[in-house]
Structure 1
Amino acid sequence: MLASALHHLRRRRRGYAALCVTLALGLVPAWPDRSPGPGLAAVLERDFLSVQTRNTPTTYYEGRQGPTGFEYELMRRFADHLGVSLTLDADHNIAEVLEAVRAEGDLGAAALPLDPTLDGLMFSRPIMPLQPLLVYRRGLPPPEEVADMEGLEIGTLAGTGTDRVMRELQADHPWLSWKEADDIEVAALLGQVAEGDLDAAVVFEHQFRLNRLFFPEVEDGFPLGRPLSLAWAFPADQGLGLVREANRFLAGLQDNGLLERLGTRYFGRDDYLEYVGARTFIGHVHERLPEYAGLFREAARHSGFDWKLLAAVGYQESHWQPEATSPTGVRGLMMLTNATASDLNVDNRLDPAQSIDGGARYLRELKERLPASITGEDRLFMALAAYNVGLGHLYDARRIAEMRGGDPDAWADVREALPLLQKREWHSKTRYGYARGGEPVIYVRNIRRYYEILAYVDRSQQQFHRLSARPPDTPAEGAFDRVPPSG
């Protein structure tokens, strides 16, 4: 019996020390009554799923809370579905991912476009659409159709599917020419557009949506062609068992709505930080922040927060203006009230060093005063909300969240409850009454995005310093190959 054979395989599983990332995961599923095939049987016997991937914001990366990313989430859940551990090899570009799948298996998950013409590979069912999009540098005449691409210096990434779309367009528009590279990622490509090295680029729409706040000089133009499909790749010589199980798993995620929710979580961000706002912020990062960055770093060492988070709070409060004063008398770079400043022994709220140090200590105090049941990022986001609206109103919102059947320890539920403090039917049931509860929601949301932009700028500066240290005769990475007109 197949069930007996699978049970025997599972009992013989060996432990495995992962070279990259290994996670112990979930429960063993019920198996279909068919041969598992050599690929699936091997995964079950060795007790781990080996995935070839890429280290990108849309696929897999190390976040503040550990590994994350849209496809990482799917990989992790699929390994959980199989009842095995997950091992990732992320040291690839797309071409290398496909070669590694052919040579090593078990599957490739790296924003791969479904392409049944590729030798030695099989693909899963489509996971999500990939809509190619032309983006261009702000200030150029907005391109609205393919004819407007003539004369533009255009770049794209080889092997991602966008290059295939360009070749299809070139068949009807022989004058079309572009550059392509296979050893850079989308952020670097958009950076070249923003800096003027390229006029335009072709990327996928969800990639641009994820990166757009970091590149306010880049505008979206128009969709190119029909959408492609993101899919997983499998070695063709390992049978259909693993592919069939992956398809069953993906179909289940689609049927229960989880696939759509994950897509929204990772790619469906609101555009509340408009381009103009992002441009202003990045301008202030270069013009104002250098004067105070050392003070934020010092406060971070004493408070335990990331200095970029404290800087994001300072920008949200005052736009890094040390003499800022609100109509209600809140003053300084971190906008402390008189009472809070007195409690913190801050005798001059307009002194940037005292204000930043006081604001960091106050945020830490708020975070420490929250119930122990609030953990992780939920605890940080609620502390930030309390910095804006006060701890009492935050507790009221937690109570409202509980009354509505939500989790008072989850920021997602408290975030929904906070605006209800503006409605009499709800604030009349609370201890502290009315509050402009919509403001802390926007406050936390903005700080999170300011922090993301600062983290991106910080990483870019570190990369710049590494590249600057490269020996003079070493060629730079990311060299483009030009694809000339076909006629």
Structure 2
Amino acid sequence: MSKRFYALISLTSLALLIFYNSSFGLPTHLEKIKANGVLRVLTRIDPTTYYQSPERLNGLEYDLVNLFAQRLGVTVEFIVPATFDDILWQITRNKADIAAAGITVTEQRQKIMRFTQPYQEITEQLLYHASNKKPKQLSELDDGILELVKNTSHIETFTRLKKTAPSLSWLTNDELDSNGLIYLLNAGLIDYTVSDSNQIELIHRFYPHVEIAFDVSELLPIAWALSQGEDDSLYDEVNRFFSDIKHDHTLDQLLDRYYSHTNRLNDFDHCKFREHIRSRLPQYQALFEKAAAQNQLDWRLLAAIGYQESHWQTDVSSGTGVKGVMMVTQDTADLVGIDNRDNAKQSIMGGSQFLKHRIEQIAPEIAEPDRTWFAIAAYNVGAGHLEDARILTLQQKGNPNKWLDVKKRLPLLREEKWFKKTKLGFARGDEPVLYVENIRSYYDLLIWHTEANNPMQKNAMDEKPAIPQNNALAIDSPLL
């Protein structure tokens, strides 16, 4: 029999199944999920998707999935297969409801799974070791080792590129993910690999020897994947969900949460910070840990603020009267009960108490992590000016409880057109925005350097042989 006949039989069977389900009241895929109370989601451990932060599980996919589950009124069961290839295999065989794993939509994948509307766009980028000459075209890769992850969109891209660059060759790794290969690249064990642009944007700062050469693809969409079976009920609901969170800017707020601060520091800042982690932090770490524990804070957040303030030095001061490791003002010292701002122990304890005080002052309706960013902004510019910016945000129909919206209005406090309408008037409102973003970057770097069981590094160190195949700105804190 012809392929056309078999295709006709398959389509007829599917139509009859849909008719049978709708005619006789059998539950749809979405109704089954709601009845069971559980949404089963395939994902992977990656900074762009799903990971354990110091306080809780985090990641863009983690947040998106939980928002969708709340919409349905169900809980989430996250499933983390051993490899990315396993994720694709399981979703095509209907082993879960959704695959939310930063999956690039490709022509080949669309033949075997259904993609929702995209929520992000990326390019694929060639990475190289900084000790090598920056390649400008694919033909320059012939003398080096290029390694790619098995069954990723990167393989599809390079298979297509090989048609016009026949000498192009690479190794395929079926054990490591992209993070693992980037780790090997940074260590000089391979010469080249490929990363999605959103991934390297998040982790580039952790790898001082990795550089971006050029894009190897056009803009590509990222979306959730569903199996091709059952019916359209879940698929349609997911698409309505993404339409809604794009319309109300929830998606923008989530993207800002994970990406806005990642490029604040340049290479010099990163190198200097890593050197100071080795040479300066050890003498103060115990003080940060003790002060943070007494005030229910993460010591690395407190240390990040201290680094932004003084680069972990005690003998510093500014023309505004602040001094010490945490650059505390005399008024703040009086408030928290310290009498020697030059003393590192007192300065760090005082800064910790003041940050805790700022957090407690933040309006209760502001949730984490925005609550922390608001508190740090208030630590820098003062609670009154921050409240002025929140009021401006509300007047301009933004969300006064979201850092993404308020940080756009804080710089307006420099402009007379706006500050004359506020209670406290003029403020250098751009400075707390840069201050917060810098601290977020330092905080991320400290977490990276202090986490003993980093899953990406562990994955890379467990590597098996591959299969051969064809300036942060210096900002004073005058309110401290």
Q: If the length of structure 1 is used for normalisation, what is the TM-score? A: 0.80
Maintained 8 Å contact 1:206/1:267: no
Q: Against the structure 1 CA distance between its residues 109 and 395, is the aligned structure 2 distance closer, same or farther, given a 3 Å change threshold?
A: closer
SS at 1:325 equivalent: coil
Moved more, 392-401 or 273-282: 392-401
Aligned to 1:377, which of 364, 369, 372? 369
Q: Against the structure 1 CA distance between its residues 317 and 476, is the aligned structure 2 distance closer, same or farther, given a 3 Å change threshold?
A: closer
Maintained 8 Å contact 2:323/2:341: yes
Deviation, structure 1 residue 4? 11
Deviation, structure 1 residue 151? 1.5
**Percentage of matched positions with identical amino acids:** 31
Q: Do structure 1's residue 109 and structure 2's residue 100 form an aligned pair?
A: yes
Counterpart residue number, 1:100: 90
SS at 2:431 equivalent: helix
Aligned to 1:449, which of 436, 441, 447? 441
Counterpart residue number, 2:417: 425
Counterpart residue number, 2:266: 274
Q: Do structure 1's residue 386 and structure 2's residue 378 form an aligned pair?
A: yes
Considering only aligned residues, what root-mean-square deviation do their CA atoms show, in Å?
Answer: 3.6
Counterpart residue number, 2:252: 261
SS at 2:424 equivalent: coil
Counterpart residue number, 1:75: 65
Counterpart residue number, 2:315: 323
CA deviation digits over 1:319-338, x for unaligned, max 9? 11111111223111110112
Maintained 8 Å contact 1:336/1:359: yes
Q: Against the structure 1 CA distance between its residues 71 and 276, is the aligned structure 2 distance closer, same or farther, given a 3 Å change threshold?
A: same
Maintained 8 Å contact 1:48/1:84: yes
Deviation, structure 1 residue 80? 5.3
CA deviation digits over 1:168-187, x for unaligned, max 9? 33444444333332333333
Q: If the length of structure 2 is used for normalisation, what is the TM-score? A: 0.81
CA deviation digits over 1:280-314, x for unaligned, max 9? 22222222212211111111111111000001000
Counterpart residue number, 1:337: 329
Deviation, structure 1 residue 442? 0.8
Q: Against the structure 1 CA distance between its residues 267 and 147, is the aligned structure 2 distance closer, same or farther, given a 3 Å change threshold?
A: farther
Aligned to 1:239, which of 230, 236, 250? 230
SS at 1:418 equivalent: helix
SS at 1:179 equivalent: strand
Q: Could you tell me how far apart the structure 2 residues matched to 1:251 and 1:187 are?
A: 28
Maintained 8 Å contact 1:122/1:235: yes
Query: Which structure's relative contact order is higher, taking Cα pairs within 8 Å and 6+ residues apart?
Result: 2
Q: Could you tell me how far apart the structure 1 residues matched to 2:79 and 2:379 are?
A: 41
Q: Do structure 1's residue 57 and structure 2's residue 42 form an aligned pair?
A: no
Query: Where does the alignment leave 5 or more consecutive residues of structure 2 unmatched?
Result: 1-17, 471-480
1:153-164 equivalent positions in 2, closer than 5 A? 153-164=145-156
Q: Against the structure 1 CA distance between its residues 149 and 130, is the aligned structure 2 distance closer, same or farther, given a 3 Å change threshold?
A: same
SS at 1:376 equivalent: coil
Aligned to 2:453, which of 457, 462, 471? 462
Q: Could you tell me how far apart the structure 2 residues matched to 1:259 and 1:194 are?
A: 35
Deviation, structure 1 residue 369? 3.3
Letter in 2 for 1:241: D
Q: Do structure 1's residue 205 and structure 2's residue 197 form an aligned pair?
A: yes
Q: Against the structure 1 CA distance between its residues 394 and 229, is the aligned structure 2 distance closer, same or farther, given a 3 Å change threshold?
A: closer
Q: Could you tell me how far apart the structure 2 residues matched to 1:59 and 1:6 are?
A: 39
Counterpart residue number, 1:18: none
SS at 1:213 equivalent: helix
Counterpart residue number, 2:113: 122
SS at 1:136 equivalent: strand
Q: Could you tell me how far apart the structure 2 residues matched to 1:436 and 1:255 are?
A: 32
Q: Against the structure 1 CA distance between its residues 382 and 111, is the aligned structure 2 distance closer, same or farther, given a 3 Å change threshold?
A: closer
SS at 1:358 equivalent: helix
Maintained 8 Å contact 1:97/1:108: yes
Letter in 2 for 1:310: L
Deviation, structure 1 residue 364? 1.2
Q: Could you tell me how far apart the structure 2 residues matched to 1:119 and 1:438 are?
A: 45
Query: Where does the alignment leave 5 or more consecutive residues of structure 1 unmatched?
Result: 11-35
Aligned to 1:306, which of 262, 278, 298? 298
